[in-house]
Amino acid sequence: MKNRSYKIFDIHTHTYPEAIAEKAVTSLNAFYEFVSEGKGTYSELAENSKANNVKGMLLFSVATNAHQVQKVNDSIAALAQKSRDDGYETVGFMGMHQDYPDFAAEVNRAESIGLRGVKIHPDIQGVDIDSPRMMGLYETIEGRMPLYLHMGDPRPKYRFSEPKKLARVLDRFPKLEVVAAHLGGYGAWDEAVEYLSGRPNVWYDTSSALWAMTSEYAGELIHKLGTDRVMFGTDYPVKNTEGEIERLLKVELTEKEREDIFYNNAKRFLKI
């Protein structure tokens, strides 16, 4: 069933250049031990978006080493512009790696080419959210641009993105605006409620969460985190657009809450 009534903003998407998309998705699948539904290309994401009343998307990618940072950011900036040229309300966020030698310089450069936030994947990058290596980045962007974090992982060897580690960062940087992806913690939702709920500078997305829980639990969790703080996301290419819309439609919400999660909250967060 395709969505015909709700405007959608997809707040969590990853896309890769056509030449490396297959390799990137294969690597993603190996890391998470699952099979992604999408190909990881902008062309497929745009096709899915058009078919499902998606008005815009947030694009980002992960820098797995310091040498990739500028290339990743140039690619996302160009792709976000192409998407806007295609008629979407699209925004791009920069990637950053903990070993990059000058956070401030690259934030300045990325901002100059239209990127409006920072995406970090602590588990893939192998760095704790509250590592001293990240403090310079947080100092640079606090009060300036938001931080988008992959959150949570139930596997013992991947505990870089625990909600309690983000809570420590937020205590130190009270003006840092953060999106705690995957409803605050991929496989760590009780921790997300304990450490993050009620913080006025934290937002959440539904990506890579709804398929891992019942619709009843999703409704309870969304209400605990705040329906005015949760945004719809697919985590493309992990999941395709239509299926994630259907999952959210099964969650017990009011019409206003659905409209906010599908579209309005993202518009407020991104200030567009």
Reply yes or no on whether the pLDDT at 27 is more than 80. yes
Q: DSSP letter at 102? A: -
- What is the residue-averaged pLDDT of the chain? 95
Helices (H) and strands (E) in the chain, counts: 12, 9
Please state, in angstroms and rounded to a whole number, the distance separating the CA atoms of residues 93 and 91: 7
Please state, in angstroms and rounded to a whole number, the distance separating the CA atoms of residues 267 and 7: 11
The pLDDT of residue 5 is 82
The amino acid at residue 78 is A
Reply yes or no on whether the pLDDT at 1 is more than 50. no
Strand partners, 118: 94, 147
Please state, in angstroms and rounded to a whole number, the distance separating the CA atoms of residues 220 and 183: 11
Please state, in angstroms and rounded to a whole number, the distance separating the CA atoms of residues 63 and 73: 9
Helices (H), 126-240: 135-141, 163-172, 189-196, 215-225
Tokens of 163: 């909600």
- Cβ-contact 49, 88 below 8 angstroms: yes
Locus of tokens 């009270």: 174
Please state, in angstroms and rounded to a whole number, the distance separating the CA atoms of residues 174 and 176: 6
Helices (H), the chain: 21-32, 42-51, 69-85, 103-112, 122-125, 135-141, 163-172, 189-196, 215-225, 241-249, 255-259, 265-270
Helix axes 241-249, 42-51, angle to 10 degrees: 40
Lowest mean pLDDT among 35-44, 76-85, 105-114, 258-267: 35-44
Exposed (0-12), middle (13-18) or buried (19+): which is 114, by Cβ within 10 Å? middle
Taking residues 14-43, report their average pLDDT. 88
Please state, in angstroms and rounded to a whole number, the distance separating the CA atoms of residues 182 and 118: 17
pTM: 0.95
Render pLDDT for 49-107 as a digit per residue (tens, 0 to 9). 999 999 999 999 999 999 999 999 999 999 999 999 999 999 999 999 999 999 999 99
Residues of the chain with pLDDT > 90, as a percent, come to 87
Q: Which of 116, 190, 117 lies closest to 151, judged by CA?
A: 190
Tokens of 146: 């938001």
The pLDDT of residue 4 is 55
Locus of tokens 């950053």: 96
Residue ranges of domains in the chain, CATH in brackets: 8-270 (3.20.20.140)
Render pLDDT for 132-160 as a digit per residue (tens, 0 to 9). 999 999 999 999 999 999 998 878 888 99
Render pLDDT for 191-200 as a digit per residue (tens, 0 to 9). 999 999 999 9
Taking residues 173-178, report their average pLDDT. 98
Reply yes or no on whether the pLDDT at 2 is more than 70. no
